[in-house]
Amino acid sequence: MTSHFEYPSDREAASAAQVRALEKLLIEKGIIAAGTVDKVLGYFESEMTPLNGKKIVARAWSDAEFAQRLVSDTPAAIAELDLPIGMAGAEGEHLAAVANEPGVHNVVICTLCSCFPWPVLGLPPYWYKDPVFRARAAREPRAVLTELGVDLADDTEIRVWDVSGHSRWFVVPQRPAGTDGMSEAELAELVTTESMMGVALVETPARS
């Protein structure tokens, strides 16, 4: 079972072709410069990236007091870290973290459109915008999580958080077993975008 929804490769190829055609048209019309798209993509690759979220989660796993501050006042806690981007601005307004814990599992969706906390998770995956996923995750989150390979105990409470212009939610997943003694950098490597959306668990690292 994969940890995310898959789109057919031909659909992705068609979308890519449409994007290239639109870019070419905008350049020809003088609306954007030739290097604009590459500049924007570079921005998301270097600054608005899931690496920010990974570092935030790793710090929360390593520092219990920071973890508490992160949930109670997310922007202030994040401001303590040396990240390449501020958390205000595009899709970073009103950031709020929710933490998984024994008996509680959080899931982030956007039922209205595709709001997403870009500064900490980067750009949303294609399937996040899919109306079927959005509707089913809101209506039957346990069934969707099971299909995605997230098997939770029957008595685990599942909380669904609807991202909007007023709240940009992201999940602090539970720290997996077998990670004692790992550095923050090593812990960050274990965190995935899907786990910070609540649609995957962080796996216990393989022993060398």
pLDDT digit string, tens, across residues 66-104: 999 999 999 899 999 988 665 555 556 688 999 999 999
Phi then psi for residue 187, to 5 deg, are: -65, -40
Active site residue: 110, 167, 183, 195, which one? 110
| pLDDT at residue number 100 | 98
Q: Where are the alpha helices (DSSP H) in the chain?
A: 9-28, 36-46, 50-62, 64-72, 74-79, 118-121, 131-139, 141-147, 184-190
List binding-site positions: 110, 113-115
Query: Does 113 participate in catalysis according to the annotation?
Result: yes
| pLDDT at residue number 91 | 59
The lowest-confidence range among 112-116, 153-157, 184-188 is 112-116
Query: Does 46 participate in catalysis according to the annotation?
Result: no
Residue range 175-179: mean pLDDT, rounded: 95
Residue 175 pLDDT > 80: yes
Q: Which domains does the chain have, with CATH numbers?
A: 9-190 (3.90.330.10)
Query: Does 114 participate in catalysis according to the annotation?
Result: yes
Percent of the chain with pLDDT over 90: 56
Contact between 130 and 91 under an 8 Å Cβ cutoff? The reply is no
The span from the CA of 5 to the CA of 129, in Å, is 11
Average per-residue pLDDT for the chain: 83
| pLDDT at residue number 167 | 86
Distances (CA, A) of 18 to 11, 15, 22: 11, 5, 6
The lowest-confidence range among 12-26, 32-46, 130-144, 162-176 is 32-46
Residue range 175-193: mean pLDDT, rounded: 95
Interior/surface letters 64-99, b for 16+ CB within 10 angstroms, e for the rest: eebbebbeeebbebbeeeebebebeeebbbbbbbbb
Residue range 161-181: mean pLDDT, rounded: 93
* CA-based nearest residue to 139, from 121, 160, 157: 160
Split at pLDDT 50, 70, 90, the class of 8 is very low
Active site residue: 62, 114, 164, 167, which one? 114
The span from the CA of 98 to the CA of 169, in Å, is 7
Residue 47 pLDDT > 80: no
Residue 1 pLDDT > 80: no
Active site residue: 113, 164, 183, 195, which one? 113
The lowest-confidence range among 8-17, 119-128, 193-202 is 8-17
